[in-house]
Amino acid sequence: MGSTIVHFELIGKDAAQLKTFYTEIFDWKIGDLMPDMGNYGLIDEASSGLAGGVGQSDDGKPRTSVYAQVPDLQATLDKVVALGGTVVMAPTEILPGTTLALFTDPAGNVVGLTKG
């Protein structure tokens, strides 16, 4: 089996607006927005079927991303670059025990990686 999708994000100009929107539309349970994490709120997996989050972008641009679990973040990023993608965020520990990376594919889609 290939790398599993384990998380998704819906990022935009106004995290509070996104939280209200997705709570009302899909009845997702979204936690308090955390200012220290870019106004980010975690979507309860039990309410959405997959762990996720809504947040605010630094540049105000919207972004939808999925996160694939891989055994080695750097090795995967090296392969991304070799195949024409671009690293957006090098492996970064965002919480104790949680390290993420981001890249764009050749079409410009932002995809996340998490270590599994």
CATH of the domain at 28: 3.10.180.10
**Residues paired with residue 53 on neighbouring β-strands, in sequence order:** 9, 42
Kind plus residue range of the DSSP H or E element containing 14: none
Which amino acid would we find at residue 84? G
Structural contact between residues 68 and 6, judged by C-beta atoms closer than 8 angstroms: yes
Domain extent at residue 34: 5-115
Residue tagged 């009845």 (tokens): 27
- Cα separation, 32 vs 19, whole angstroms: 9
Question: Total structural domains in the chain?
Answer: 1
For residue 70, count other CB atoms closer than 10 A to its CB. 19
* pLDDT one-digit tens code per residue, 62-92: 999 999 999 999 999 999 999 999 999 999 9
Q: What is the pLDDT along the chain (116 residues), one digit of tens a residue?
A: 789 999 999 999 999 999 999 999 999 999 999 998 889 999 999 999 999 999 999 898 999 999 999 999 999 999 999 999 999 999 999 889 999 999 999 999 999 999 97
Structural contact between residues 60 and 71, judged by C-beta atoms closer than 8 angstroms: no
Structural contact between residues 3 and 72, judged by C-beta atoms closer than 8 angstroms: no
